[in-house]
Amino acid sequence: MAVYNLTKFTEFILIGLSDIPEVRYPLFMVLAVIYQITLLGNIAILLAIATEKKLHTPMYYFLANLSLLDIFCPSTIVPKILRNLLTKKQNISFLGCALQLFFLIATEGTEVFLLSVMAYDRYVAICFPLRYTLIMTKRLCVQLTTGTWASGFLHALLHTVFTFRLSFCKSNRVNQYYCDIPPVVALSCSSTYVAEMLVLVIGGFLATSTFLITGISYFYIISTILKIRSVEGKRKAFSTCASHLLVVGLFYGTTLFTYVRPSSHHSPAKDRFISMLNVVITPMLNPMIYSLRNTEVKGGLKKILCYKTKT
């Protein structure tokens, strides 16, 4: 049974990139620019979808939710990183650490579910084009979206509760620049078996199942596209899912590179820097991928820019 009164700390110390002091201010500038680009890019996508009637379809409804997640995810950690780099303070309260971990897992978990829903949407659009509007109704879209957000936040709540019910008395120095499950659990002086098994079993099951849904959807999508005889027909069919396929590849690629690759025993700072890929870089690139490859999104963005120029 956990001995809860063994927790002696009221705050944690985040071991960020401050062990490389000569790059503190250049890194602050780079992260600040990346964060601003991320916010502006995703807000522009949201405005384009809201103002352009052609984009009021299930595909862009899901894309709007993806943009919201790409705003929320880096916002859970980047402002704190910028504050630490600027003030040289690395502390975070116990409650602040729990909230940061909760919202980070919630947004990333919701994005995993949402990407599989978006893959299913593309599967229906390409494999059953005549029945698309009958299948992907507004009610179903709302239900799927509500389910992804609810699943992501419930999943995060479960991990957060079982992580912070542990007793912490070894050290309060989190070997990361934000609160994540592995570095926080490593500080526990009580049994971490349940918390670790939850990550392994539940997290692994959800990640595997959503990956399979996405993979199977694209297997049938590609099979259907290859059956199209005309080159122009293949090009049009593939263009409807190319952006999403790039986003899926980027998300899973950075996730695997961050969490599955062997750690660098000689350069822990390098490991922490690489872990930025999934939570900082990917949200910035997603709106670029959709705006550069999608003519309808580009049209919506041009209208917004033209309207602002006129006003």
pTM of the predicted protein model: 0.87
| DSSP string for 8-22 | --SEEEE--STTSGG
Distance CA 21, CA 27 (A): 10
The answer, yes or no, to whether residue 232 has pLDDT greater than 60, is yes
Determine how β-strand 91-93 pairs with β-strand 11-14: antiparallel
**Which pLDDT score, from 0 to 100, does residue 111 have?**
93
pLDDT-derived band at 4 (thresholds 50, 70, 90) equals very low
80 has a pLDDT exceeding 60: yes
Q: What is the pLDDT of residue 161?
A: 94
In this structure, of 11-15, 39-43, 167-171, the range with the lowest mean pLDDT score is: 167-171
In this prediction, residues 195-201 reach a mean pLDDT of 87
- Indicate the range of 32-36, 77-81, 241-245, 275-279 predicted with least confidence: 275-279
Q: What pLDDT score was predicted for residue 268?
A: 59
Neighbouring C-beta atoms of residue 33, cutoff 10 Å: 11
Percentage, residues of the chain above pLDDT 90 = 39
Q: State the Cα–Cα distance between residues 45 and 49, nearest whole angstrom.
A: 6
As a whole number of angstroms, the distance between CA 266 and CA 245 comes to 35
For the segment 30-39, the average pLDDT, to the nearest whole number, is: 94
* Amino acid code (one letter) for 236: K
Q: How many beta carbons lie within 10 A of that of residue 207, not counting itself?
A: 14
Which amino acid, 31?
L
